[in-house]
Amino acid sequence: MSSYLSIPITAHLQMEITNLLNMEAYYLDNGKYKEWLDLLSDDLTYRMPLRETLEGVGANNVSKDASFFEETKKSLTTRVNRLYTKSAWVENPATRQRHFISNIMVESTKNPEEFKVRSYFLFKRSRGSTHDIEEMFGERNDIVRKESNQWKIASRTILPDQSVITTMNMSMFL
Partner 1 sequence: MIKKTLDEKAFQLLKEKMEQGLFPQWVLTDPDIYELEIDKIFGHTWQFLAHETELKDSGSYVTRWMVNDPVLLVKNRKGEIKGYLNSCTHRGTQLCTADHGNKKNFTCPYHGWSYNLDGELIGIVAGNKVYGEEMDKSEWGLREIPQVASYQGMIFGCLDPVAMPLEEYLGDMKWYFDILLGRSDGGMEVRGLPQRWVAKANWKATAENFAADPYHVQTTHRSTVELGISPEDPLYAGYGHQIVTENGHGINVITSKTGKARVPYQGTPESMWPMFKKNLTPEQDEILSGVTVFVGGVYPNLSFVSPIHGTEGHLHNYLNFRMWRPIGPEKVEVWCWFLIDKAAPEEYKEAAYRGYLGSFGPTGTLEQDDTETWARIVEVSKGLMMRDKELNYNNVSNYLMGFDRVEPDESFPGPGIAYPTTYLDAISRSMHENWFKLISKDLFVKEAVK
Cβ at position 36, least distance to partner 1 in Å: 16
Site membership for partner 1, residue 94 (CB under 8 A): no
Taking CB under 8 A as the rule, does residue 85 contact partner 1? yes
| Nearest residue (CB) to partner 1, 75 versus 102 | 75
- Of 73, 45, 80, 5, whose CA–CA distance to 158 is shortest? 45
Decide: residue 148, CB within 10 A, 0-12 exposed, 13-18 middle, 19+ buried. Answer: exposed
Answer whether the bond into residue 93 is a cis peptide, omega within 30°. Answer: yes
Q: Does 149 bind partner 1 (CB under 8 A)?
A: no
2 interacts with partner 1 by CB under 8 A: no
With contact defined as beta carbons under 8 Å apart, do 116 and 140 qualify? no
Can residue 79 be called a binding residue for partner 1 (CB under 8 A)?
yes
Q: Identify the three-state secondary structure at position 81.
A: helix
Does residue 121 touch partner 1 according to CB under 8 A? Answer: no
For the chain, what is the radius of gyration of the CA atoms? 17
Determine if 22 is a binding residue for partner 1 (CB under 8 A): no
User: What is the binding site for partner 1 (CB under 8 A)?
Assistant: 48, 50, 52-55, 63-72, 74-75, 78-79, 81-82, 85-90, 128, 130, 132, 163-171
